[in-house]
Each structure stands twice: as C-alpha cells, then as structure tokens.
Amino acid sequence: MDNTYTNSIIMHLQDQLDTPIIATNIKKNNPLMPKKQYFKQGTYQYLTTRSIDFENIPYNKNQKIFLCIYRIQHTDQPFLEYLLYKYPKSQCDICIFPYLRRNPKKEIKTQIIDFFKSTINIPHLKWTTKGYIIEENNIYLLINIPRQVTPHEHILRRESEWWWCLIDEICNQRHIVNFPIHESVTNLFFKNNDLIYLRAVTGKKMPIPRALYYGTYSPIAPFYFVFGPKQTVTGRYGPYYYLGSYEKIIRYAGWSPEYTLIKKNNITIADENGKLTEGGGIIRYAVFLGKIKVLLNHPHDKKNIDVPLKNTLEFQLRLEDRDGEWSAHYDSLYYGRAKIKSTPPRYWRANPGFVTKDFNQQIPLSMHILDTKTLKTNWDPHYYKYYIQ
C-alpha cells in the first residue's frame, strides 16, 4: 500500500475526529480509601497512589523508572488508555511501559522532563505526575496527559512504536492487535487494582470497554472507521453493528466474502481462492457492551427462525435472530461457535463474535492495513500470526 493512499486516509479522518476536549482536575478525599485521593475529571474520578513525593525515594543501583502515562477519553462513557512502547519485530513486538534508568546525579523530575522533550515532544506544562508505586526496587510513576495534547495518530503500523492501550487489552486480552503486552504491565494493575477503574463521583466503578475489531476491503475502511461497522437487514442478527476478535476479522480483511475471484476494471482484487491481493483494512474499537444477550444453543432455547433458509442446519435455528428481537431487551449480543456432528468434527463460527445495538457503543481507536505476506492460501481461524503492515 503506497503512502499516498495512507496519507489520504489520515487527512480524511483528522477532519472527522480531531475535536479538542477540555477537562479539569479537582482533588477530593475518599474516606473509604485512607491516604489516597480521587482526581476528578468532570463527573468522574480516577484513583492514584498515596503520594506524589517521588523525589525522596532512596536511590538503588540499577533502579528503573517506568513511566505509566495515561489519558482519559471523554466520550459519552469515559474510559482509560495507557501508553505503551512496542519493541520492533526483531524483539517479538513486545509492548511495555517506557522506562529510564535512574541517574543518581539527576532529579527524577528532570529525567522525566528530558524524556518528554526528546521522545514524545510534549512540554512539561502539558502533563502531571499523579503518584508512584514501588515494585521490586523499580519506580512506576503515574503521569496524566490531557486528551487534547496527545498526538492524533489513527493509522498505526507494525513499525509504530507508541500505542494507546485499553485496560481490557492490558488485563484481559494481554495483547494489542496481536502484539503481546509484557507481564510487568499486566501485573502492575493486578497488584494495584484501584488503577483499573474510573469511578463515578459516588465511588461506583464505571464500565470498561472491550477492544473489538472489524475487517473489510481497505478502500472502504475509512467509512467504517467514522460511521461504525453496521450491517444491512440481511445480517444474521438484524441491522446492527458486527464486531469480533482480531483473529476473527482477519477472515474479512484477508479474503472476499464468498472466497471467490474478484476483478475490478480488469484488475484482480481477490485471487481464485478469494484472497485479497492488497491488504484489507482493520479497524480497532473501544466497545461498551452493556447488557449482553448470550446465545447458548441450548435444546430448550427459542428457535428464532420460523421459516429456515435453504441449507440451514437445525442448530442454527437457535443461533440466529435475523429480525433482531434480542435488541428489545439487550444492548449487545454474543454468539459463540457450535459443534457440527461430522467426521472429523467441525465447528460453525469457529471464532465467536459480538453485535451491538447503538452507534455510540463503539469508539474508533485505530486503523491498520493487513500484511498479505503473512496470509496463508486459505483462512485458518486458529492461526495467530496474521500481522499488519
């Protein structure tokens, strides 16, 4: 994919998404968390560690300073993102908190200022240190950056070094796209789970969005980035928004819908196996699932198809809902895989998926182009080494 195409996508998206957000920080003591503070961001708060007096931490040899840089996305439902550094392919694409080796001849604050100037190009007045944690002789500094001063990078490649990650990616999935997140990052949150949640002013934990994806033919990916992955009325679960795991959506970013040859203006777009000749587009979203309907395929479950379509299998009658009746009582729907009786056993829908009801449930985070060099001849739902360019 040439740079002209990528640059045109960036210009299109910036006009749509680069809206500045203004937030305020107000400290408020919480009697349920002694010696700790909430930091208010509008109508919600984020809990930090006990003290910001990190300059008095005794120096230890070989001590590292990990910079836990976070921002709060101010959408209808706010959510956290943490900034991770991704090592190159030669170092297994591992994602980790950026860190410095502590210099006994420099104040910690001076080292951090130098880092921001030289690496992220954000002036000192645009970030705030919110506290620290000591783990295994290392210092983890919590640093807040307001959303409006961070780089607007929506197009990310495998060579991109800086990635804003969701809490779901850090603690649950433990990868972003298919790049592994180092256990030191995940363990910090598991050992200090007050860092995981934004809270309402009442102290109630706020929902955490799930990282989900959509895959499609690359020229139309910017449309889905801006307007959401909505299906037509022919969708198996109604005219709603269809998403899946990274592994699942590779199917649609790498191959044509029916695995057939496609030509446009005498140019082959998909070969005889349906594999796209140019990498498809992959869109990553933060998704608020809300109240979820789970299709279990239980023998006593309601059959949602009164008149089966041609070649419809018996179990599909309980795993489809073309009229979207689920949306009357739920915000989203989850469908899993079903075992097909055959020799050898096969599965229908090898990779589970999600459907959401409302446009505002998914917030676009980043867009990527699939690397066709990493594709097999045919799609393999259990293969995990499909990479982006």
In the chain, where the domains are located: 13-208, 211-374
Q: What b/e string do you get for 225-260 counting C-beta neighbours within 10 Å, with b at 16 or more?
A: beebbeeeeebbbbebbbbbbbbbbbbbbbbbeeee
Amino acid 117: pLDDT: 85
Give me the tens of pLDDT residue by residue for the chain, a chain 389 residues long.
344 433 443 343 333 333 222 222 223 332 222 334 444 456 788 865 556 778 888 888 889 999 999 999 988 889 999 999 999 999 999 999 999 999 988 899 899 999 888 887 776 667 888 888 998 889 999 999 887 656 557 889 999 999 999 999 999 999 999 999 999 999 999 999 889 999 888 888 999 999 999 999 888 899 999 888 987 667 888 999 999 999 999 999 999 888 889 888 888 888 999 999 888 999 999 999 999 999 877 666 666 655 555 555 666 667 778 888 899 999 999 988 777 777 777 777 778 899 999 999 999 999 999 999 999 998 888 899 999 99
Distance CA 42, CA 373 (A): 46
CB of 151 closer than 8 Å to CB of 83: no
CA–CA gap between residue 134 and residue 137 (Å, rounded): 6
Residue entry with tokens 């799609």: 379
Q: Is 256 helix (H, G, I), strand (E, B) or coil?
A: coil
Q: Which of 80, 89, 19, 12 is nearest to 45 (CA)?
A: 80
- pLDDT at res. 100: 93
Helix (H, G, I), strand (E, B) or coil at 331: coil
At 47, the amino acid letter reads L
pLDDT for the residue 206: 92
Core vs surface per residue 160-175: b (16+ CB within 10 A) or e: eebbbbbbbbbbebeb
Which residue's entry shows tokens 């990274």?
A: 246
pLDDT, residue 34, reads 31
Q: Write phi, then psi, for 302 (nearest 5 degrees).
A: -65, 140
Q: What DSSP assignment string belongs to 69-125? A: EEEEE-SSS-EEEEEEEEPPGGGTT-EE--EEE--TTS-HHHHHHHHIIIII---GG
Q: What percentage of residues in the chain have a pLDDT greater than 70? A: 80
Report the alpha-carbon distance of residue 30 to residue 209 in Å, rounded: 25
Non-local CB neighbours of 116 within 8 Å, separated by 6+ positions: 122, 123, 124, 127
Take residue 110 and report the two structure tokens written for it.
């001076």
Non-local CB neighbours of 234 within 8 Å, separated by 6+ positions: none
Task: Supply the DSSP string of 177-235, one letter for each residue.
Answer: TTEEBPHHHHHHHHHSGGGS-EEETTSPBPP-PEEEEEEE-GGGHHHHHHH--B--TTS
Which CATH code fits 13-208?
A: 3.90.79.10
Q: What is the pLDDT of residue 316?
A: 67
Unique residue bearing structure tokens 């929902």: 207
Q: For residues 283 and 225, is the Cβ–Cβ distance under 8 A?
A: yes
On whether the CB atoms of residues 334 and 326 are closer than 8 A, the answer is: no
Question: Tell me, what's the pLDDT at 258?
Answer: 86
pLDDT at position 33, please?
28
pLDDT of residue 151: 56
11 contact partners, CB below 8 Å, separation of at least 6: none
Residue in the block written with tokens 């498809």: 280
Q: Does residue 332 contact residue 355 with C-beta atoms inside 8 Å?
A: yes
